[in-house]
Chain A
Amino acid sequence: MSANMQQDWKHWRLRREDTGLAWLDLDKADASTNVLSSEVMSEFARVLDALDAAPPKALVIASAKPAGFIAGADIEEFSRLDSVLAARMLVERGWLLFKRLAEVRYPTLALIRGHCMGGGLELALACRHRIVVDEPGTKLALPEVMLGIVPGWGGMLRLPALIGPAAALDLMLTGKSVDAKKAKRLGLADDCVPARVMESAARIVALGGKPAGKLPAKERATRWAMNGPLRKRVADKARAQAACKVSRANYPAPFAIVDIWEKYAGNALDVPASDPSSLDAIFSSPTARNLVRVFHLQERLKAFGKDSDFAPRHVHVVGAGVMGGDIAAVCALRGMTVTLQDQSVERIAPAIARAAKLFERRHKGDAKQVRFTLDRLIPDPKGEGAARADLIIEAIFENLDVKRSLFAELEARARPDAVLATNTSSLRLEDIATALKDPSRLVGIHFFNPVPMLPLVEVVQGEATDAEVLRRATGFVRRIDKLPLPVQSAPGFLVNAVLGPYMLEALRCVEEGIAPETVDAALVEFGMPMGPVELVDTVGLDIAVAAGKVLAGEGAEPPARLLKLVAEGKLGRKSGEGYYRWVEGKALKGAGKEAAPEGLLARLLSQLPGRRSPDARPPPPIPPGLAERVLAPLLAATQRCVAQGVVADADLADAGVIFGTGFAPHTGGPLHHAGSLVRHT
């Protein structure tokens, strides 16, 4: 192996084997993760120059980072783009560079281990071969759409050509990732191999000189047709599917992707500026800016907890209801040993059954992993795990006296260094904490339903909560890969405090005679993941009444119809009827045809941007200003939370409301939205 002569490269390392094979490692300087910054990209051009001067027999591109292959473009650079022209130049440089890579005469291979996102995947697609390493961390995606932009460095050209337009559009329009096995199955990767043979596989495939694996004749014919005569029909279908989920006005990018594939051979640079799919249109719309803002808000939430190395091995959860059971399941999924306590094993059993289904979904048929995860979730009717746990989370029903006596007992049994946390949403942390000998030990860790889907967790600081306990609770939330939002103890914290008045206003509209369908349609049109009336039904009408009392105090009278429905036992989804009738977990709307998919809110949040029911019918006529009217109390409540210091600043309030409620991400959050309205008028 001869030494690398180009010693002036900062980010790339080239090694040439005696076989003639060259290994090119990306190792971005002063970073733990590889991103394709402009410096990395221009240096890559110089690497290609050097390879042109002395072409290798074959080239393998890999990452020197343990974290993964390439995380994508440099979002910091992208965020600083100040003009459409600058954005266009950024797209053009990547497009041309990867075109050049695709056209080199020697065989090229991307050896992909760990994340391979966005521009990273576009680089890999420009190689002749791809080998993926079969590890849980290997994820391939083109998530540009989540930032309101398009994969402009060749993704729209090469992915449909490689795996067929149907699968490619699906990946590009949703931004979802595929694991190593799926990448192989889709034809995205030539092979999926264990790490122990990855270098050998890369060498054999790169030097083998064979074209990528040949598809079955039927599949080849289908692809040819979809890329050829059926192109328009495929595009129309993709557009229709996208339109079911988002509106073009709010989210131009997915529609642009379809157009650019269909009409411009995947080259965004060819789209005339006047076209709504042009880079000019995409980069000048507020959506891309706002979605980048949402990305940064998410990064900010992720950064909380970085100052704690608290990594609980054993979590004890008291209360095996839907909330407690799901908290326990999520912890077990993240490798923690969990003891789940309730009054009897019969009360714990439904939580285990639900967890088993969750584990089967998450582990995608890996029966061994499902079994190991279930092994870590231990039913504990006697609560014996409390004595050993690093963290104890209480998630029982909302009764102050019961919680106080539970915590007094837990404090006596728990290790002195264990974190004691309550998931209460309506009781004052301080009232619970005084049951402890040391009230500073209690912190709030407030989850949202359904726990496996919703990313936000409020970490609640009570008056007495010790700073280190707070840090640990925040660290724990990151360990289970949720987004921690530090909030002060106040009624409803942030999320429920803003949702309450919003739902109340929606119910008042219904009280005034506006159909629930109309109210919901107005807010879905605005970009909310689920209408507020449907949300009330989902949360439960009894819960809404109880929460309303806590939030609104004595002043506000609950809507008469709400009280009447509760009195009739119509509690919403869980009882089969509330404002809507519910069949198989779906609300029957209007003539009984329209229905929202189950877990809509949840699915939305796991996958920005927002979506709408795919089978939604044309919405009924919406009175002008209806959405604004229902949103006004939410905006006011968010402002109030900032003013009262429930959250530290307006950005965190926006982050909390977006990730806690699914508030229309393309707006950049309620306060940002309100501010932009002010700026416009």
Chain B
Amino acid sequence: MNASARHSEGKRSRPAGKKEASPAPKPIYIVDGGRTPFLKAKNAPGPFTASDLATAAGSALLMRQPFAPDQLDEVILGCASPSADEVNIGRVVALRLGCGNQVPGWTVMRNCASGMQAIDSAIANLQCGRSQLVLAGGVDALSHAPLLFSEKMVRWLAGWYAARSTGDRLAMLKTFRLGHLAPVIGIMKGLTDPIVGQLMGQTAENLAWKFGITREDMDAFAVESHRRVCAGQDAGHYADEIVPLIDRDGQVYAADDGVRRDSSMANLAKLKPFFDRKYGRVTPGNSSQITDGAAWLVLASEEAVARHGLKPLGRIVDSQWAALAPDQMGLGPVHASMPILQRHGLAPNDLDAWELNEAFAAQVIACLRAFEDHDYCRTHFGVDAPGAPEASRLNVDGGAVALGHPVGASGARIVLHLLEVLRRKGGGRGLATICIGGGQGGAMLVETV
């Protein structure tokens, strides 16, 4: 590839930074939000299915609104892995929430940003006037991810069912091998990039290699994430957003249960690299956890706010999607954030708070390094490095490494929690951004009202 080609690639990755992508013409209000506790998967299906989670969080949220569930214009739910019996989980949950037959419900999928995509889809419909009042959010119950038959087993079964005579069946039996029974773990499929064939954790290893991020850097980040979540829990910073769940046996799930109060460098050092076994740096301890959870926002137009007398928490000022090489997917937040910063003439530390989803400690650190890397920023955005957000503004209550990452829910959770952080700071502006498996990034600029 010659220099001019490289240059033009740099330019092509920039179009979102164009000034003509104008900010929202109509204000989009976030009226309220809520989520389930994030429940760590414990090697067995968790107590709630995806639609259970979304229904429980949604019904508690809707119950405190001055409008009835059937007054919503639509329900949009992001979900990366809906179960086979509720593929359009958005409609299933809308009905379970008591929205009635006449409120449309649909499902969006953009991997780890499915929840953010649901919000963005709501924004689009609010902008063009199709909707005035939307329930949007995300959910995933990764502990319920299925075990699948192997391709060989599926082919063998097809032959078996087609066999008519006893002779045919005997012949089929002879071709059966025990190895056919080895299941394919659905979640491993989901967390493997289908283009480059790398596990998400291996893409994080790519970034660690690229930016020279050490195991110690990652573990220290993870320890800090756990510390911040614990402090946030103790200070009640999560109390308002979490809807406690009760299962059918009367057990209560009131808090995110993946966080470890005993997290330490020494404890994390015991863990082995998982994705590049033996030689890698990314461990389960410095990665986000496999988790079940749901998060919702109520979004409203100015007209709906006036009609129902709503008291919004904040506004979504702008949003941005960006794409990059699949094996670099962890840098997606940088690519999605830069155009927003440029459009609004902001530097990262002009913002009062950042929520940058923690898929992997290595991936967050890589984003921070990229923001400070002149070469990287010049190549990709044609500008000097703007500098990384300070630690005191970034994920102040911790993130997915400690809370878990129920893929579809995280994009909605970080927007919701960003508003809580801004509220505590007495108001202001913040950016929620997330990396997306497959090589994308999403970002939303919000402000309090």
Which A residues have a C-beta under 8 Å from some C-beta of B? Answer: 337, 339, 345-346, 348-350, 352-354, 356, 371-372, 374-376, 378-382, 384-385, 387-388
Chain A interface main SS type:
helix
Find out whether the CB atom of A380 lies under 8 angstroms from the CB atom of B252. no
Further contacts, 5 of them, CB under 8 A, given A354-B250, A356-B248, A380-B63: A352-B250, A374-B248, A375-B59, A382-B64, A384-B63
Residues of A within 8 Å of B66, CB to CB, are: 387-388
Find out whether the CB atom of B252 lies under 8 angstroms from the CB atom of A385. no
B246 touches A (CB below 8 Å): yes
Can you sample 10 A-B contacts with CB below 8 Å?
Answer: A345-B246, A345-B252, A348-B246, A354-B250, A375-B59, A375-B98, A378-B63, A380-B63, A381-B244, A387-B66
The CA-CA distance from A379 to B60 in the complex, in Å, is 8
B251 touches A (CB below 8 Å): yes
B107 touches A (CB below 8 Å): no
The CA-CA distance from A643 to B45 in the complex, in Å, is 63
Q: Which residue of A lies closest to B95 (CB)?
A: A372
Given contacts A349-B251, A349-B252, A352-B250, contact A388 B63 (CB under 8 A): yes
The CA-CA distance from A500 to B252 in the complex, in Å, is 38
Given contacts A345-B244, A384-B64, contact A353 B249 (CB under 8 A): yes
A241 to chain B, nearest CB (A): 34
B55 touches A (CB below 8 Å): yes
The CA-CA distance from A520 to B149 in the complex, in Å, is 63
B228 touches A (CB below 8 Å): no
Partner of A380, one of B52, B60, B249, B254: B60
Interface residues of B in 61-109 (CB under 8 A from A): 63-64, 66, 68, 96-98
Q: Which residue of A lies closest to B253 (CB)?
A: A345
Find out whether the CB atom of A376 lies under 8 angstroms from the CB atom of B98. yes
B222-245 interface code vs A (CB 8 A; 1 in, 0 out): 000000000000000000000010
Find out whether the CB atom of A353 lies under 8 angstroms from the CB atom of B96. no
Residues of A within 8 Å of B244, CB to CB, are: 345, 379, 381
Chain B interface main SS type:
loop
B26 to chain A, nearest CB (A): 28
Most buried by B among A353, A375, A378, A382: A375
Residues of A within 8 Å of B55, CB to CB, are: 375
The CA-CA distance from A376 to B248 in the complex, in Å, is 14
Residues of A within 8 Å of B246, CB to CB, are: 345, 348-349, 352-353, 379
Partner of B250, one of A350, A371, A372, A374: A350
Residues of B within 8 Å of A379, CB to CB, are: 60, 244, 246
Q: Which residue of B lies closest to A313 (CB)?
A: B68
The CA-CA distance from A381 to B63 in the complex, in Å, is 12
The CA-CA distance from A348 to B252 in the complex, in Å, is 9
B321-346 interface code vs A (CB 8 A; 1 in, 0 out): 00000000000000000000000000
The CA-CA distance from A376 to B97 in the complex, in Å, is 8
Find out whether the CB atom of A385 lies under 8 angstroms from the CB atom of B251. no
The CA-CA distance from A354 to B248 in the complex, in Å, is 8
A391 to chain B, nearest CB (A): 15
Q: Which residue of A lies closest to B254 (CB)?
A: A345
Find out whether the CB atom of B60 lies under 8 angstroms from the CB atom of A378. yes
Q: Which residue of B lies closest to A385 (CB)?
A: B63
The CA-CA distance from A387 to B308 in the complex, in Å, is 14
A299 to chain B, nearest CB (A): 33
The CA-CA distance from A380 to B64 in the complex, in Å, is 10
The CA-CA distance from A575 to B64 in the complex, in Å, is 39
The CA-CA distance from A453 to B298 in the complex, in Å, is 40
Given contacts A372-B96, A375-B55, A375-B98, contact A353 B63 (CB under 8 A): no
Q: Which residue of B lies closest to A376 (CB)?
A: B98
Q: Which residue of A lies closest to B244 (CB)?
A: A345
The CA-CA distance from A345 to B254 in the complex, in Å, is 8
Q: Which residue of B lies closest to A346 (CB)?
A: B252
The CA-CA distance from A382 to B244 in the complex, in Å, is 11
Q: Which residue of B lies closest to A354 (CB)?
A: B250
Residues of B within 8 Å of A380, CB to CB, are: 60, 63
Q: Which residue of B lies closest to A345 (CB)?
A: B244
Residues of B within 8 Å of A339, CB to CB, are: 63
Find out whether the CB atom of B250 lies under 8 angstroms from the CB atom of A337. no
B95-135 interface code vs A (CB 8 A; 1 in, 0 out): 01110000000000000000000000000000000000000
Residues of B within 8 Å of A387, CB to CB, are: 64, 66
Find out whether the CB atom of A353 lies under 8 angstroms from the CB atom of B250. yes
Find out whether the CB atom of A352 lies under 8 angstroms from the CB atom of B248. yes
Q: Which residue of A lies closest to B69 (CB)?
A: A337
Given contacts A380-B60, A380-B63, contact A375 B96 (CB under 8 A): yes
B218 to chain A, nearest CB (A): 36
Residues of B within 8 Å of A372, CB to CB, are: 96
A324 to chain B, nearest CB (A): 15
A332 to chain B, nearest CB (A): 11
A347 to chain B, nearest CB (A): 10
Residues of A within 8 Å of B254, CB to CB, are: 345
The CA-CA distance from A20 to B59 in the complex, in Å, is 55
Most buried by A among B97, B244, B250, B251: B250
B149 to chain A, nearest CB (A): 25
A359 to chain B, nearest CB (A): 9
B238 to chain A, nearest CB (A): 14
The CA-CA distance from A379 to B251 in the complex, in Å, is 13
The CA-CA distance from A388 to B67 in the complex, in Å, is 9
A545 to chain B, nearest CB (A): 30
Find out whether the CB atom of A378 lies under 8 angstroms from the CB atom of B249. no
Residues of A within 8 Å of B63, CB to CB, are: 339, 378, 380, 384-385, 388
Residues of B within 8 Å of A374, CB to CB, are: 248
